Amino acid sequence: MENARQNVMTFLGRFFRCESLDGDDDIFAAGFVNSLVIVQLIRFLETDFSITVEDDDLEIDNFRTVNRILSFIARKIARPEESSHSPLASAVDAG
């Protein structure tokens, strides 16, 4: 999962300086993430980790910290049968 952490940090680094970001720092409370970044983050997670983010997954707590993002990825990878179609990805693709 360390490679996953590095990939997530690299992605987030495109939007803000995250060298000193701790795995439990709230990226929303810190003001690092807005709605555009979260949509791009979800798309990145779906593409990079071959998971599907369902409507039910769109809880801020799944994406609040790097550690929570990594836990979310691990849960989705462990249960791929629940990741059949992403309405968000379809909306982004259609846009």
pTM: 0.80
Q: Identify the pLDDT of residue 17.
A: 85
Domains of the chain listed by start with CATH number:
2-94 (1.10.1200.10)
Q: Identify the pLDDT of residue 83.
A: 44
Question: If we measure between CA atoms, which residue out of 92, 89, 45, 39 comes closest to residue 66?
Answer: 45
Q: What is the pLDDT tens value at each position of the chain, 95 positions in all?
A: 679 999 999 999 999 988 788 899 999 999 989 899 999 999 999 999 999 999 999 999 999 999 999 999 999 999 865 544 555 545 545 55
Q: Identify the pLDDT of residue 73.
A: 97
b or e along 62-91 (b: 16 or more beta carbons within 10 Å of the residue's beta carbon)?
A: bbbbbebbbebbeebeeeeeebeebebeee
Q: Identify the pLDDT of residue 58.
A: 95
